[in-house]
A and B are shown apart, each in its own frame.
Chain A
Amino acid sequence: MQSFSTDFEIPAPLRQYCDGKAKLVIDSTSNPQSILDRIAAEYPKLYRSICDESGKLRKHLNLFVNEDLISGSQLGEIELRPGDVVGVFQAVSGG
């Protein structure tokens, strides 16, 4: 399999946990779960803000690959391609 890196976009409130970066370039990614695994190792507070103790995406966060919303069960199944962008967004809320 070809090795490539994937851009992972960080929402503004969480950039304090990755040296203020708006984007991380994650090497040797195969699927979104592999990105989260890498973040867990390198940026544990960032990871804990995205996933709860059980390893699931937090309930009010949404993860996209390009413009496609990805469910938690798809994290290990979606095959990333060169040029894909993965991003985390807060769900819309009120109050």
Chain B
Amino acid sequence: MSERVVLCIGTKKGLFVAESGRARGRFNLRGPFGSGVAVYSALIDNRFSPVIYASSCSPFFGMNVLRSTDLGNRFKETRSAPAFPGDDGRVMGNIWSIETGKNKKELWCGVEPASLFHSDDNGNSWELVAGISHHDHARKWQPGNGGLCLHTIVRDGDRMHLGISTGGHYVSEDAGQTFKAANKGVGAGFVPNPYPEFGQCVHKIAMHEKAPGRLYMQNHGGWDDRPGIGVLRSDDHGQNWYSIAAGLPSDFGFPIVVHPDDPDVVYVVPLEGTTRTCPGGKPAVYRSQNGGKSWKKLNKGMPKKDSYFTVLRDAMDIDRMKSPALYFGTTTGQLWIGRDGGEQWDCLFDSLPPINCVKAAVV
């Protein structure tokens, strides 16, 4: 069968799956799966035969993990979802991230309140990862407006980076056994110390597998008194960070995405810091082709005025075709495609429920 592009779109009202041929002209939509229940995280694991996972987090009935082995035509709940031990005292609030592990059946899961879980059986059973979940800092982290969430898991062999809001960036060098805060240069605008050891409101971290020492971070920016702390880069596996925000209309935003073939190419969606909407009502994705030294606005095909949506932390992704397309979903239920690396934008779907996450894969 020829290559297809599959999108998983997690919304406030369930998961949608969109599928297209390699030309990415028309996308066919199916769903919602887990109907009526918010989906904040999805994973398309296509290292082997493709498997799709999605969280399904009901405010009434609690957490589930959905799993599909037929490219999202049907989903079944895994046998269990991550849950805190009964004597832990914490109660699961949301599932924010599902990522692959090293082995075929291995998964990692970031949750709210900020903790990490591990599964080695395709998500049928889960174990709390003590190294971060019981970290000395854990009881000192504070929730942001979105809750106290472990939302980003970036793996690099036995090294693992975590993004926690508001906890900051933590890194493990031993496959998730132990973690250390690594936030040198990561600023915070909401505490007296502008550069605390931990407690930053990290929004997203991205890495390219060809340059694993380099990381990009969308941090919580938008502070008039502490400018530039919102978009950051590290060249030493996250030990030190520096600003690459110069040239952006705002250093506030949520997602950050790296081009699949070029670690120097990185994308952000600047938002106005106070309202978290498109600056001036004019949406645009910004692309750097030199690792953050300069930025170019990409908005051809987008509204030129009166557009005030928000793009959340997991709501932008890029496919791995020869000429990759970007995808982002909005809190107003639009799914946009940016063909040719974001040069030309079109709205694929304009009336979905509010979009929490978008994942793209070529299968």
Contact = CB atoms under 8 A, between A and B. Distances in A.
- Which of B59, B80, B86 gathers most chain A CB within 10 Å? B59
A50 to B, nearest CB: 8
Contact of B60 (A48, A53, A56, A90): A90
Interface in B52-91: 59-62, 77, 80, 83-86, 88-91
B352 interface: no
B83 A48 contact: yes
Contacts of A59: 59
Interface size class of A (residues with CB under 8 A): 10 to 19
Interface string A37-65: 00000000100111011111011110000
Contact of A58 (B62, B85, B88): B62
Contact of A54 (B59, B61, B77, B91): B91
A58 B60 contact: yes
A93 to B, nearest CB: 7
A91 B60 contact: yes
Contact of B88 (A50, A53, A56, A60): A53
Contact of B61 (A49, A55, A56): A49
B175 interface: no
A49 B86 contact: no
A13 interface: yes
Given A53-B86, A54-B86, A48 B62 contact: yes
Nearest to B83: A53
B348 interface: no
- Which of A48, A60, A90, A91 gathers most chain B CB within 10 Å? A48
Contacts of B92: 52-53
Nearest to A49: B61
Contacts of B59: 59-60, 93
A13 B62 contact: no
Interface of B: 59-62, 77, 80, 83-86, 88-92
Interface of A: 13-14, 45, 48-50, 52-56, 58-61, 90-91, 93
